[in-house]
Amino acid sequence: MKMRAFAATCAALLSTAAMAETPNRPELAAALKAAHPASLKRLQDWIAHPTIAAEKLNVEGGADYMRQLLLDAGFQQAKVIQTDGVPGVFATLDAGAPTTLGLYFMYDVKQYVPSEWSSPPLEGRLVDRPEGKAIIGRGAVNQKGPETAFLAALHAFKATGRKLPVNLVLVAEGEEEIASPHFKQIVQNPEVLPAMQKVVGVFIPGAGQESNGATTIDLGAKGVMEVQLISSGEHWGRGPAKDVHSSLKANVDSPVWRLVKALDTLVAEDGQTPAIDGWFENVKPLSPRQRALIAEGVSKSNEADVMKQLGIRHWYKDEDYLTASYRLASQPTVNIEGLVSGYTGPGGKTVLPGRAEAKLDLRLVPDMTREEAEAKLKAHLAKRGFGDIIVNVSGGYSPTETDENSLLVKSQMAALRKAGVEYSINPRQPGSWPGVTFTGPPLKLAAVGFGLGTGGGAHAPDEWYLIDSNTPKVAGLDESAMFYVDYLYELAAMTGQSGGRRGQRGR
């Protein structure tokens, strides 16, 4: 009885004023409900086939798997696009509609350490959480769960024998988790670029609902540069070329301490503020409108829930939630992902290591660029006598921004209002995705992330995505898919009103 009551409430939530835009909506909703076991299995099977770009694991197989998922969902053509790195996938669905929507998918996932998980990270086990029934697995929320919800929506169209109200052009990559070093090659492929030039905008499915049901439309994201710094006796010309006995530290230089000293110059004494020469030179402060949007989002957010999910008790400097949120959106960062040198096993091993490595990610905000960041980092180290430190940039891209008045964003706002879902406009998410490939030249399209549903633990152990919600405020897998169905009709209606295939573009 409780589940039937919940289902009715959720159906009411998602049908508010949407019937006018979604013909015979109950038929589509019934198709989604009937296909729930298949949708869940599709996600579980996908989780069981990870692609990890950093380890070159399943790179060809992952692209083929992504391609087949798209064909099964109704795309008439889907092909693997080769790059200088991990291949991508390009697919089109021509519904004969006047409007074409672009989609961005990623099929790769982060590395994982099975011993840190409560269940095998590739099993896709269903577990009970306070939010409801959830799936645990690497890639569950980032991004296979939300992407599976969108694919489920397409399967509902296919099952009911109806055409989509819009055409689709989709590009997927398998290197998002290593900062998309070859994504431009996919989009600028001579077959892909003309298709992308026909879309009204690009969106990436998301699952950003909080416990109170509120969600966001993310207008932008920080850029990122992933880099490896290496200090070695061999390259430095000082210190040992290989590990030697630690007693020699008295008269032999240490490459490890050299790296530590170099790293220390990258941030101020607080260990937080970037201190790279000229780092803030092109940082654009938040506009009054952006600050107002952030404040509105904070007012609709539950700080306690956010902190609990993150496992933290304090914001930096014990700032209040609003101030911390301003900081999160506006500040570039220098983060050490990992440090490796010498012996790290049980007990001690008295060695003076001949090599030390650090993995960093540097988050960028407008109007910084990835090229500028690399040049300034290298110049900063060289100026301080650390020119021997090897700087290997493995990937990255500049920040992305989209105008809140773009047609794409307006259509998403309308869909959320009609679904009765409280939302806020987020000027910039602190994470990164290669949206600048779309918002920058030559395409200059609107590109944002949005969607219903929830999950957590991205990049961490026990990553999860909500399948069956126990509250009408938060969508599960089927409700998220139905929302995407409604959204496609909303977009078609709004672009029809605006006239023209492209509608409003713009950043």
Cβ proximity of 215 and 450 under 8 Å: yes
Report the length, in residues, of the chain: 507
What pLDDT is recorded for position 497?
55
Residues 6+ apart with CB under 8 A from 324: 315, 316
- Rounded to 10°, the helix 477-498/145-159 angle is 70
Give the single-character DSSP code of 500: S
d(CA 457, CA 121): 12
Q: Enter the tokens of residue 30.
A: 């019934």
Q: Which pair of structure tokens corresponds to residue 425?
A: 């406009």
Decide the pairing of beta strands 351-352 and 447-450: unpaired
Separation between Cα atoms, residue 208 and residue 450, nearest integer Å: 7
Cα atoms found within 13 Å of the Cα of residue 172, Cβ hemisphere only: 29
By C-alpha distance, which of 175, 37, 157 is closest to 110?
175
Given this model, what pLDDT does residue 300 score? 87
Q: Is the peptide bond before 143 cis (omega within 30 degrees of 0)?
A: yes
CA torsion, points 165, 169, 174, 180, in degrees to nearest 10? -120
What element of type H or E holds 155? Answer: helix 145-159
Where is 363: in which H helix or E strand?
A: strand 355-364
Residue 22, SS3 per DSSP? coil
To the question of domain 2-221+400-498 being in CATH 1.20.120.790, the answer is no
pTM for the structure as a whole: 0.89
Domain locations along the chain? 2-221+400-498, 223-283+332-397
Distance CA 218, CA 212 (A): 18
CATH code: domain 223-283+332-397 is 3.30.70.360
Could you give phi then psi for residue 336, rounded to 5 degrees?
A: -90, 115
Per-residue pLDDT of the chain (507 residues; tens, 9 = 90+): 333 434 443 444 444 433 336 999 999 999 999 999 999 999 999 999 999 999 999 999 999 999 999 999 999 999 999 999 999 999 999 999 999 999 999 999 999 999 999 999 999 999 999 999 999 999 999 999 999 999 999 999 999 999 999 999 999 999 999 999 999 999 999 999 999 999 999 999 999 899 899 999 999 999 999 999 999 999 999 999 999 999 999 999 999 999 999 999 999 999 999 999 999 999 999 999 999 999 999 998 889 989 988 889 999 999 999 999 999 999 999 999 999 999 999 999 999 999 999 999 999 999 999 999 999 999 999 999 999 999 999 999 999 999 999 999 999 999 999 999 999 999 999 999 999 999 999 999 999 989 999 999 999 999 999 999 999 999 999 999 999 999 999 999 998 754 434 434 433
d(CA 192, CA 271): 44
Ranges of beta strands (E only) in 72-121 are 77-81, 88-93, 100-106
- Eight-class DSSP state of 344: -
The per-residue pLDDT for 139 is: 98
DSSP string computed for 390-450: EEEEEEEE--EE--TTSHHHHHHHHHHHHTT--EEEES-BSS---THHHHSTTT---EEEE
CA distances from 24 to 20, 28, 168, 239, 447 (A): 9, 7, 22, 74, 30
The first and second tokens of residue 316, run together, are 């930096």
Of 494, 441, 409, whose CA–CA distance to 196 is shortest? 441
pLDDT given for residue 309 in this prediction:
82
| Phi and psi angles of residue 73, each rounded to the nearest 5 degrees, phi first | -80, -10
SS3 for 37?
helix
Cα 413 from chain centroid (whole Å): 20
Q: Which amino acid appears at position 201 of this protein? A: G
DSSP 8-state assignment for residue 310: H
Q: Which residues contact 92 (CB under 8 A, 6 or more apart)?
A: 75, 76, 77, 78, 167, 168, 169, 170, 195
pLDDT at residue 21 in the model: 67
DSSP state of 247: G
